Amino acid sequence: MGTQMREESIRDQVPERELGPSDELRQEATGRTEFEFEIGRLACSESVLDKMEKTKKLKLERDKSLYGSFTKCFEDSFARHCLCDWGDVSQEQKDANDQALKAGGQLFSTYTHDGHPAICILTQSDRSETVIGLPEEFEGD
């Protein structure tokens, strides 16, 4: 997976929709009010939103048993990223993220969940935006 994605091309590679007030979502997901970094505008790829919508419909149809759903995986992944838990990236990427917290630079994390596609999260180096998508949407040119 190309974790060194060029920031200027992110909008071309991840069709997205804004999710809402990012600070409120982050506080709700983590239970915290102070963080190591800003996340800026929060956006999500159409693919991720579609998967969340599908599992939401399945949950309504099949009732209670589905709250190991993709939506729960999304929420867990987002909370972990906000708390500087970089997930299932290489040690080299974890070190790069830790350095980026101190010196600036993009933050990239990946989270795998049994039975669901991996979720990738990229926070821009200027902290103006955080985008959540699937791995194939973040592969470099």
- The count of structural domains within the chain is 1
Query: Would you say residue 101 lies in a domain?
Result: yes
Written as six digits, the tokens of 17 are: 């929709």
Domain range spanning residue 111?
7-138
Query: Would you say residue 1 lies in a domain?
Result: no
Query: Would you say residue 2 lies in a domain?
Result: no
- Identify the DSSP state of 42: E
Angular region, 57: left φ>0, alpha ψ -120 to 50, beta rest: alpha
pLDDT digit string (tens) for 34-60? Answer: 899 999 988 989 888 888 777 766 555
Query: Would you say residue 107 lies in a domain?
Result: yes
Predicted model pTM: 0.78
Three-state secondary structure call for residue 4:
coil
Distance CA 44, CA 61 (A): 25
Query: Would you say residue 15 lies in a domain?
Result: yes
End-to-end CA distance of the chain: 11
Query: Would you say residue 18 lies in a domain?
Result: yes
Residue 107 pLDDT > 70, yes or no? yes
Q: Specify the residue for token string 């693919």.
A: 47
